A and B are shown apart, each in its own frame.
Chain A
């Protein structure tokens, strides 16, 4: 089977302005959402207590609300369904460490008249731990980006590095915007998903860049736009196919992975789509806008080659004893 048969290069760079504007609009919208609506931080980062309770039969949400409102520490607690009909999650902003009392025990006594149930999960995170986790998460993301910048600069050129990092900031920001838009609760797993997007988006971009690097060597035309068009078109089938396989796999996670992994899978779904888009339409134009010059690059490469050759020659002479 063959879907993408290469005939002639698509003229993407001519339209790059349009994609640029589209991306900037998306970015601004995402940033606006993040700044105005803000993240729905879960207990991992905000601190607080989460209790997951499973009932035999449908969970009596109203009864649960009444039962826990008796206790002062659960004032303002939210009670929501979790996945199926029989499960609920109770959340409060206070972490009960202040009380020094076991949360599970307390729930067992508070809810004893609401039916047959089992406390399946208790997450209680102190505010201090939460903010530490947040700092560590941001730190991890920053370090990963720096590491990637250095590696790509070393293997390609600094403009490639900047373009790839911009593409990935683009992806992560839009994914965050979607998280805010759909009020996905941000816990550690969402952070992991964002970091995966970072890796995935990069993966995609690098493969396109590798083709551009190859194109610079093999295509005679010094026009970067043409080289990019050709390279992106050549990798188009790969980009789409891999994205599709990954998309399907993440989709199965989203649909069958259970409620706990729902937010994680959702974030990845967004990431795969945006990552694919950005590797085709964002990363390469940025390379062009940064003023990457094919002839300069060729000159530099040629010089590098020349120096290497001279070195080899010297070494050969030295080894032959002629120097």
Chain B
């Protein structure tokens, strides 16, 4: 038999590969690909956000209503009583029967995603179900992008923002150390950042204290409160312009060195703003953010250039976060935190320590047991086991996989199960040796006999692991990933690798020293 065979070479490669690529993770060096520690090990904030998609649908309906008005004005169609109803429909009434056909054609052509019904001159326009679903999906996608932008601008290391399932957003931010950082971050994420510039209804504002919301609505107005004081404002419901026309937002300071936010409008926004301020001299305009009035200065003269300020007695950090939120845009629909997990850094460190200790102890126990029980065959199995551990680390490092606490448990468990293959093989070899077969024959037949059992057992466990990776979330996924990698790696190290080592060492094996090599005393031929 050849002394060096392809199996040993393969094992050697696997060992070198495993050691080389797990070094960056083990030494925590700057270079090279590393295993990412899960939030439970390094500390951080994990959140699952839901989204109020009905708000997105509402605003979509509103903009459809605006489009209807715009088109009809453009086409000189006379209409009345255009309103947006609570059941998410738009209704209006035409005044001229000759317009009915034209309106039907316009609605079909110009406004996508709607169906309409008419009764004489009365029209009801509703969104189609598909359009609603599309709007919801769009709101989620937009929220994911917006939140990601905000976190990136905040300057945090490797935040994860991803859609999860149909209607959830997963946000993971590692390295949050203090309570203050956490709160600040949550505010930044939750903030709708919906900026509006609205005209104050100077004619009726004197009565605001006694006016009900319904009454305000009947005048086409809305009542909003000041952000810092209980003062109320009566504002025109249709804003002059909103945050979508904003190009930049920066933190600046006023004469008293108070932080404020300067923002710049795009060309169209600047024109609208200029026209409006020109027309409204002497009256007040409110800067409204997330339905709170931040300031309502009197317009002294026409303001060109599209530069506007928000002042609101900000803390510096608050102003900074607000500028970030404004720059990265408003959320189409508000988000709600449905679940939150926060792990402090010290707890993560404790977990690493405890599970590493368990891993080390378990590993030592198994290694000692194998040598005691199987003699040199146990040493061979241990080489494979060490190779297996390094391979798991290397593959996880290269794939940039995340190691979680259950993942650590998965590795510990793999240590227990990876030796199983070698236990099966060694038992088979012993059986054949007891029957008086030669060492070479016993090894070859032992591997052949053991193979189907190990293979079938591993495949079934792998099936379970794959289902867990696909269906599991967070902790379970981490556990299944390490277990799956462990199983595949053990096929290479524990079956192929140890076989090679046996073949390589075969010429040195002596039938008189079966106790040393295989840990058994046999009477030779039985």
Interface residues of A (CB under 8 A from B): 1-2, 6, 52, 54, 95, 97, 102-105, 108, 118-126, 128-129, 132-133, 136-137, 139-140, 143-144, 147-148, 151-152, 155, 188-189, 191-192, 195-196, 198-200, 202-203, 206-207, 210-211, 213-214, 234-235, 237-238, 241-242, 244-246, 248-250, 252-253, 255-258, 260-261, 264-265, 268
Contacts and interface: CB of A to CB of B under 8 A. Distances in A.
Given A123-B341, A260-B351, A1 B459 contact: no
Contacts of B406: 189, 192, 264
Interface in B205-226: none
A20 B419 CA distance: 31
19 contacts: A1-B519, A102-B179, A108-B179, A122-B341, A123-B341, A126-B339, A147-B467, A151-B460, A188-B475, A189-B475, A196-B483, A200-B461, A202-B461, A206-B453, A213-B452, A241-B373, A242-B420, A249-B415, A258-B351
Interface stretch (B24-32, B94-102, B285-293, B424-432): B424-432
A210 B453 contact: yes
Contact of A195 (B340, B419, B468, B519): B468
Please name the 7 residue pairs, one residue from A and one from B, whose CB atoms are nearest each other, closest first.
A258-B354, A246-B416, A249-B362, A210-B453, A140-B471, A249-B416, A120-B344
B347 interface: yes
Contact of B409 (A6, A102, A103, A257): A257
Contact of B419 (A140, A206, A245): A245
A133 B165 CA distance: 11
B365 A129 contact: no
Contacts of B179: 102, 104-105, 108, 119
Interface of B: 48, 50, 165, 179, 182-183, 186, 336-344, 346-347, 350-351, 354-355, 357-358, 361-362, 365-366, 369-370, 372-374, 405-406, 409, 412-413, 415-417, 419-420, 423-424, 427, 430-431, 434, 449, 452-454, 456-461, 463-468, 471-476, 479-480, 483, 519-521
Nearest to A254: B358
B472 A140 contact: yes
Nearest to A142: B467
B423 A241 contact: yes
A256 B456 contact: no
B363 to A, nearest CB: 8
B358 A246 contact: no
A261 B362 CA distance: 15
A52 B346 CA distance: 12
Residue of A54, A155, A244, A252 with highest tally of chain B CB at under 10 A: A252
Contacts of B483: 196, 199
A207 B453 contact: yes
Nearest to B425: A238
Given A245-B366, A253-B358, A264-B406, A144 B183 contact: no
Nearest to B454: A207
A257 B354 contact: yes
Nearest to B355: A257
Nearest to B453: A210
Contacts of B463: 144, 147-148, 151
Contacts of A120: 343-344, 346-347
Contacts of A199: 460-461, 464-465, 483
Q: Is the interface of A mostly helix, strand, loop or mixed?
A: helix
Contacts of A6: 431, 434
B272 to A, nearest CB: 34
B427 A238 contact: yes
A97 B340 CA distance: 9
Given A1-B519, A144-B468, A199-B460, A129 B339 contact: yes
B460 A206 contact: yes
Given A136-B471, A245-B419, A252-B361, 20 more contacts: A1-B373, A2-B430, A2-B519, A119-B344, A120-B347, A123-B339, A125-B338, A136-B473, A188-B474, A189-B406, A202-B460, A206-B460, A210-B453, A238-B427, A242-B416, A242-B420, A249-B415, A252-B365, A256-B357, A260-B405
Contacts of B341: 121-124
Nearest to A152: B460
B338 A248 contact: no
Given A148-B460, A203-B417, A261 B339 contact: no
Given A126-B338, A128-B338, A257-B355, A192 B479 contact: yes
B423 A238 contact: yes
Given A1-B372, A119-B179, A203 B344 contact: no
B456 A206 contact: yes
Residue of B48, B336, B339, B483 with highest tally of chain A CB at under 10 A: B339
A261 B359 CA distance: 13
A203 B54 CA distance: 49
B409 A264 contact: yes
B339 A95 contact: yes
B456 A155 contact: yes
A125 B72 CA distance: 49
Given A122-B341, A122-B342, A124-B340, A203 B420 contact: yes
A140 B417 contact: no
B340 A207 contact: no
Nearest to B487: A199
B26 to A, nearest CB: 20
B464 A202 contact: yes
Contact of A253 (B182, B362, B420, B457): B362
Contacts of A121: 341-344, 347
Contacts of B355: 253, 257-258, 261
B412 A249 contact: yes
A257 B358 contact: yes
Residue of A128, A144, A202, A255 with highest tally of chain B CB at under 10 A: A144
B413 A250 contact: yes
Contacts of B48: 129
B416 A245 contact: yes
Contact of B449 (A105, A126, A143, A214): A214
Nearest to A240: B423
A203 B413 contact: no
B495 to A, nearest CB: 14
Contact of B340 (A122, A137, A147): A122
